[in-house]
């Protein structure tokens, strides 16, 4: 017998209708290229998204056509998310930090029809334009008065496009499995792969991120997404905040500028912020040098890469709780969240320092398992390492125009490419990427744990560990380090001695090499493939 409940499609158009009626006066504040502090309300934002959609309807696009963005976090980008997706088009957010060849590849692969670009990216777009012949027009996110001179074919002014439409425009009905957004992974090898989100997956993910032990966003929050709108939908914040009625603060192109971030936090009363580890280093450096505080900020969510303990401990001194989140582009992105600080009293200082570094517990809706090389499930004992697999309604079931990838080899499960342990409390800890595991004498070494221990040293700015050929053990860890300010005199011996007692003795790297910088991907992850290439000829001292 079926239930007798309404079969209402889950579409993000409902977010617009909800926010217009229930949260009309909540503010969105943005830094843009033409205004250091633009502010308006959800009601105004969605009226403009309707005008934009009306303006775009003259282009003759079909349902499901891709409309792309190359833009920073600000209100015009937010309007484009909704104007495109609520019209039945797919909003393809492009990471401007990708290499130009990758940009050309994904624009052509996605068959983007129009691209909305921030004025900052006009030179970048001009360099690509003749290699992406399918693009029919470039919409520059600026008013007529700030339109840059450009050689882009069919360059359109965003504000004129908005002004051409009516705020009474009615979006079409959307079926929940229709696509609403597209984001390519910035994999370290091969071509980027497209993840196509549906209206349904986006709504379910937004609901899940709102839960108290997930991002816990409420109407009383002021949320500063430092994570870009082009990095997995800014972890769902642009959908979750209008549902909750939380105020949104967008930092524009100033996401790496500690001073602007601190001012935005203090002047707008930001309570919650989200970003990758590197952005927090910029904010902390500014706070330390200026003596400024961030008293309104209660919580930051750090994800995208392992978060060093030093960042958490620095934020502790400002009364800010640091929560690690783990996820992937393929997972919309949130999979787990670490809320161990809510149970701080359960742990000794030493235990807490360990548990807070973990990825955390699965959010309801995400099922996880770890398996060995034969696909056998491993116990959740906090010891066994295995390939992490996930399933759930906001996890991709195949890549866009790329059927049959290895990631979906087992029916119903997605192979994350991460290696992890899960403890009896359900806390998952990433130990490595599958491709980066180090096997010394047949035993696994967790490069992430070694890196965490190394970055705890006050003279270390950044550290990466790779497995390198060793005649006796087949592989041993090689630690590659960027020294921090005041760390010029740091020696390999001093660093290695500091690791004793923090990690297993045989995990202590065989050697340390100092470099000026580490290679990073477009989303700020260390490119270990590049490091392995760079150190191919290295020999461990005998």
Residues involved in catalysis:
185, 330, 439, 444
User: Looking at residue 294, what DSSP letter applies?
Assistant: -
CB-CB contact of 431 with 444 (8 Å): yes
Q: Does 418 bind ligand AMP (CB under 6 A)?
A: yes
Closer by beta carbon to ligand AMP, 294 or else 390 = 390
Q: Which of residues 485-514 bind ligand AMP (CB under 6 A)?
A: none
CB of 160 vs ligand AMP, minimal distance in Å = 35
In the set 53, 428, 430, 465, which binds ligand AMP (CB under 6 A)? 430
- What are the DSSP calls for 489-536, one per residue? T--HHHHHHHHBTTB-GGGS-SEEEE-S---B-TTS-B-HHHHHHHTT
Nearest distance, CB of residue 197 and ligand AMP, angstroms: 13
Tokens read off for 191: 């071509």
Q: Does 523 bind ligand AMP (CB under 6 A)?
A: yes
Q: Compute the least distance from the CB of residue 325 to ligand AMP, in Å.
A: 6
Question: Of residues 148-187, which lie at the interface with ligand AMP (CB under 6 A)?
Answer: 185-186
Nearer to ligand AMP, 484 or 524 (CB): 524
- Which 311-340 residues touch ligand AMP, going by CB under 6 A? 324, 326-329, 333
User: Based on CB atoms, which residue is closest to ligand AMP, 68 or 305?
Assistant: 305
What is the largest distance, in Å, between two alpha-carbon atoms of the chain? 75
The reply to whether 198 sits near ligand AMP by the rule CB under 6 A is no
Helices 258-268, 277-290: crossing angle, 10 deg rounding: 80
Q: Where are the beta strands (DSSP E) in 25-167?
A: 27-32, 35-41, 66-70, 90-93, 114-117, 137-140, 155-157
> Which of the residues 56 through 115 are near ligand AMP (CB under 6 A)?
none
Partners of residue 500 on adjacent β-strands: 503
Percent helix, strand and coil across the chain, each to the nearest 5: 35, 25, 40
Q: Is 359 in the site for ligand AMP (CB under 6 A)?
A: yes
Q: Which is nearer to ligand AMP, 359 or 392 (CB)?
A: 359
Site for ligand AMP (CB under 6 A): which residue of 18, 43, 433, 470? 433
Closer residue to ligand AMP in complex, CB, 33/69: 69
Residues 436-465 contacting ligand AMP, CB under 6 A:
none
CB of 87 to ligand AMP, least distance (A): 27
- Exactly one of 416, 440, 446, 455 binds ligand AMP (CB under 6 A); that residue is 416
Q: Nearest to residue 450, comparing CAs of 440, 473, 315, 300?
A: 440
What is the rounded radius of gyration, in angstroms, for the C-alpha atoms of the chain? 23
> Which residue is closest to ligand AMP by CB?
329
Can you tell me whether residue 196 is helix, strand or coil? strand
Among 32, 40, 41, 126, which residue's Cα sits nearest to residue 72? 32
Identify each DSSP E strand in 259-406 by its residue range. 272-275, 299-302, 321-327, 334-337, 361-362, 367-371, 386-391
Task: Pick the closer one to ligand AMP by CB: 327 or 477.
Answer: 327
Measured from the CB atom, is 184 or 250 closer to ligand AMP?
184
Q: How many residues bind ligand AMP (CB under 6 A)?
A: 20
Name which position in 129, 161, 305, 362 contacts ligand AMP (CB under 6 A).
305
Closest CA to 128 of 157, 158, 151: 151
Collapse the DSSP code of 44 into the 3-class scheme (helix H, G, I; strand E, B; otherwise coil) and give the result: helix
Token pair, residue 541, equals 């001292």
Q: What are phi and psi of 87, to 5 degrees?
A: -85, -5
Residues that bind ligand AMP (CB under 6 A): 185-186, 232, 303-306, 324, 326-329, 333, 359, 416-418, 430, 433, 523
């Amino acid at each position: 017998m079926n239930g007798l409940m309404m079969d209402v499609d889950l579409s993000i158009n409902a977010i617009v209708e909800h926010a217009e009626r229930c949260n009309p006066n909540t503010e969105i504040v943005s830094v843009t290229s033409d205004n250091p502090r633009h502010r308006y309300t959800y009601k105004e934002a969605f009226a403009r998204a309707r005008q934009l959609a009306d303006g775009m309807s003259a282009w003759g696009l079909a349902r499901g056509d891709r409309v792309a963005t190359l833009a920073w976090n600000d209100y015009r980008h937010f309007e484009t998310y909704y104007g495109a997706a609520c019209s039945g088009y797919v909003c393809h957010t492009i990471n401007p930090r990708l290499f130009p060849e990758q940009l050309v590849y994904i624009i052509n692969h996605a068959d983007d029809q129009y691209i909305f670009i921030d004025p900052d990216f006009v030179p970048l777009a001009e360099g690509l334009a003749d290699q992406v012949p399918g693009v029919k027009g470039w919409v520059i996110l600026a008013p007529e008065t700030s339109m840059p001179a450009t050689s882009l074919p069919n360059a359109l002014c965003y504000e004129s496009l908005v002004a051409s439409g009516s705020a009474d425009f009615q979006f079409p009905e959307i079926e929940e499995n229709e696509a609403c957004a597209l984001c390519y992974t910035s994999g370290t090898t091969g071509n980027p792969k497209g993840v196509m989100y549906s209206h349904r997956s986006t709504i379910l993910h937004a609901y899940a991120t709102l839960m108290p032990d997930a991002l816990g966003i409420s109407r009383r929050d002021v949320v500063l997404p430092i994570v870009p709108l082009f990095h997995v939908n800014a972890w769902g914040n642009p959908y979750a905040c209008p549902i909750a009625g939380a105020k949104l603060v967008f930092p524009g192109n100033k996401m790496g500028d500690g001073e602007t971030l601190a001012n935005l936090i203090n002047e707008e009363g930001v309570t919650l912020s989200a970003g990758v580890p590197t952005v927090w280093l910029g904010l902390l450096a500014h706070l330390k040098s200026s003596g400024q505080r961030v008293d309104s900020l209660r919580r930051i969510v750090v994800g995208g890469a392992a978060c060093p303990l030093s960042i958490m401990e620095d934020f502790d001194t400002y009364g800010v709780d640091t929560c690690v989140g783990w996820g992937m582009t393929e997972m919309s992105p949130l999979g787990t969240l670490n809320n161990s600080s809510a149970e701080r009293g359960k742990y000794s200082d030493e235990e807490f320092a360990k548990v807070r570094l973990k990825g955390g517990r699965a959010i309801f809706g995400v099922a996880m398992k770890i398996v060995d090389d034969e696909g056998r499930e491993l116990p959740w004992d906090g010891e066994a390492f295995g390939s992490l697999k996930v399933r759930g309604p906001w996890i991709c079931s195949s890549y866009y125009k790329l059927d049959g990838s290895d990631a979906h080899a087992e029916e119903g499960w997605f192979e994350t490419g991460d290696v992890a342990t899960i403890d009896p409390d359900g806390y998952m800890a990433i130990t490595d990427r599958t491709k980066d595991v180090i096997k010394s004498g047949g035993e696994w070494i967790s490069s992430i744990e070694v890196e965490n221990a190394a970055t705890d040293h006050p003279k270390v700015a950044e550290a990466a560990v790779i497995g390198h050929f060793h005649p006796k053990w087949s592989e041993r860890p090689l630690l590659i380090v960027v020294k921090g300010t005041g760390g010029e005199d740091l020696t390999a011996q001093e660093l290695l001695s500091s690791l004793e007692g923090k990690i297993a003795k045989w995990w202590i790297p065989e050697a340390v090499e100092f470099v000026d910088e580490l290679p990073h991907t477009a989303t700020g992850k260390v490119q270990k493939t590049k490091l392995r290439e760079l150190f191919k000829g290295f020999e461990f001292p005998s």
